[in-house]
Structure 1
């Protein structure tokens, strides 16, 4: 169910039957030559729709901007601060709680949003203690990725416009992928990038962190299905 297309006369009764709100959160940033700037928004939206189908939840309008400090200097990237993102999410969460929702699931498509989402969830834990709040970023993907990835990751945590994220897009939003433009770029990421602020232009000119040419729909589906199943279990209180 898409929340924004409901009307005010019917929505209260529908919330009474489904108290689960799902918020896709993404970003606008460089994703190499083969993926669009809104890749993280598309992934968050499509995954949110699949989650909503499984748990009978409402999909909220996408929050389309994220904290993209690391890529802010690349053409097309739009950055918002963690502080802005936290406040925005807290306001949304508190509004949902007042409307009667008891579960607020954020489906994040951009790793850089992680800190803000966690902090917002902590605030909501205090202000809306009767509402469960989740911040999902492909839970359980690590094991699934290790089983099918053909090239080593450029970084132990980051994945970006690479074999993995491009596979997600081929599965969830294939109409926005230009595989003929996919490239291989596995940069050497210095150790200090993990312990001091390091803009990504210091080690990549493309914003691609891997071999996007190896992406397939099948790989994307395998990993996304694992993450989706984990999200469903958590929302249902089974995890």
Structure 2
């Protein structure tokens, strides 16, 4: 159910039928020559829609800006601070809580948003004690990706505009992928990038971290379906 298309006369009754709200959270940043700037928004939004079907939830309007400090110097990237993002999420969560929602699931399409989502969830844990708050980023994807990838990951945490993320797009938003422009760029990421502020311009000029040419819809579907199953189980659980 799309929250923004409800009207104020009917939404109160709708919330009584489903007290689960899903917020897609993305970013605007470089994703190589074959993917659009809004890749993370598209992935978060379409992933949220599939999840909502599984758990009978509302999908809130997508939050389209994120913390993209590492890629802020690339053309097209729009960066907001962790504090701004965290405060925004807390405000949204508290508004949902006051309207009767009991589950708030943030579906993240951009790794850099992670710290802000976690901090927001902690604030909401204190301020909204009767609302469960989740912050999801493709749960279970690491094992699933290792099973289908044909090239070694450039980094043990990062994946970006590569074989994996491009496969996600081919499954969830294929109309926005131009595989004729897909490239192979497997940078040597220095060890200090894990322990110091390191703009990605230091090790990539494309924002691609892998072989995007190897992406397929089938790989994307395999990983995404596992992530959806894991998210649905967590939301439906009574932990």
TM range (shorter): over 0.9
SS at match of 2:87: helix
Q: In 2, distance between residues paired with 1:137 and 1:8?
A: 31
Alignment match, 1:234: 234
Alignment match, 1:170: 170
Residues 45-124 of structure 1 correspond to what in structure 2 (within 5 A)?
45-124=45-124
SS at match of 1:152: coil
Extract unaligned runs of 5+ from structure 2: none
TM-score using structure 1 length: 0.99
SS at match of 2:21: strand
How many Å apart are 1:22 and its aligned residue? 0.2
How many Å apart are 1:91 and its aligned residue? 0.1
Structure 1 vs Structure 2 CA RMSD: 0.7
Q: In 2, distance between residues paired with 1:5 and 1:63?
A: 16
How many Å apart are 1:238 and its aligned residue? 6.2
Q: In 2, distance between residues paired with 1:44 and 1:145?
A: 18
Alignment match, 2:158: 158
Task: State the number of aligned residues.
Answer: 239
How many Å apart are 1:149 and its aligned residue? 0.5
Alignment match, 2:195: 195
Q: In 2, distance between residues paired with 1:129 and 1:41?
A: 29
Alignment match, 1:30: 30
How many Å apart are 1:222 and its aligned residue? 0.1
SS at match of 1:134: strand
Q: In 2, distance between residues paired with 1:181 and 1:129?
A: 48
How many Å apart are 1:30 and its aligned residue? 0.1
Q: In 2, distance between residues paired with 1:54 and 1:238?
A: 16
Alignment match, 2:221: 221
> Could you give the per-residue CA deviations for residues 204-232 of structure 1, whole angstroms, max 9, x where no partner exists?
00000000000000000000000000000
SS at match of 2:134: strand
Extract unaligned runs of 5+ from structure 1: none
How many Å apart are 1:49 and its aligned residue? 0.1
